[in-house]
Amino acid sequence: MWKRSIFSHVIADRALRERVAAVEERIARAAARRARRREEITLVAVSKLFPAAVILQGYQLGLRDFGENYVQEFERKAAEVAGLEQSRFHLIGHLQSNKAKHASELFQVIETVDSAKLARRLDSFGRKLDVFIEVKLSPEETKAGAAPEEVPAVIEAIRGCANLRLRGLMAMPPWSDEPEPSRPYFARLRELAERHGLRELSMGMSHDFEVAIEEGATHIRRLPGAAVLRRFG
């Protein structure tokens, strides 16, 4: 039994390595279509619902940025990945105010700041954090974020916080099986960022990250090798 387990993990490691390489190639090609350099784009490997062992495996393969949706879930993994000195953990899920303190202790990047109130609360805990403003660009009730007209007030609040560094804007378009329907939303986010002098854009996931890169994404959220890990993890 143990031999089969070891064999399975060897296959999984090789398959994940190949999958990460394939994703890297797709990122590079999408960047080249807009005369951009691969180094301009950060791949945030979404590790929600996976155990800490998967993060450790990804780190060994060169991944450095990891995205988690839930504060409590990552809290259970944090001790096991604390030794990954070059890693950066991003909160990419909605942040409730009552979990802000835990989030500030666990993450280096909060991508879902959606109000001046939440920004000031994060700042009050005294830990240096990089933050993105989450913007709601679609009418879907399931989507969180500040409305575009609210963004200036949130920017002003963050810039008044000594412990927060504003990196840019983040958004999630309505779900679609095809990548192209996301393009207008990515373009709107880019235009909003340009209007406010912000250079970084966190947008694009597994199904539409190439379109996001073409529209200016600096951070994409991807599940490299997810199918492999579910099979062998």
Per-residue model confidence as pLDDT tens digits over 181-223: 999 999 999 999 999 999 999 999 989 999 999 999 999 998 7
Domain ranges of the chain: 2-232
Architecture of the domain spanning 2-232: Alpha-Beta Barrel (3.20)
Q: How much is the pLDDT for 12?
A: 58
Whose tokens are 């986010």? That residue is 189
Alpha-carbon gap, residue 122 to 173, rounded angstroms: 26
Q: How much is the CA Rg of the chain, to the nearest whole Å?
A: 18
Beta carbons of 91 and 111 less than 8 angstroms apart: yes
Q: Is the pLDDT of residue 3 over 50?
A: no
Which tens digit of pLDDT belongs to each residue from 118-133? Answer: 999 999 999 999 999 9
Q: Is the dihedral of CA 70, 72, 77, 83 positive or negative?
A: positive
Which tens digit of pLDDT belongs to each residue from 150-187? Answer: 999 999 999 999 999 999 999 999 989 899 999 999 99
- Exposure string of 36-63, with b = 16+ CB inside 10 Å and e = fewer, is beeeebbbbbbbeebebebbebbbeeeb
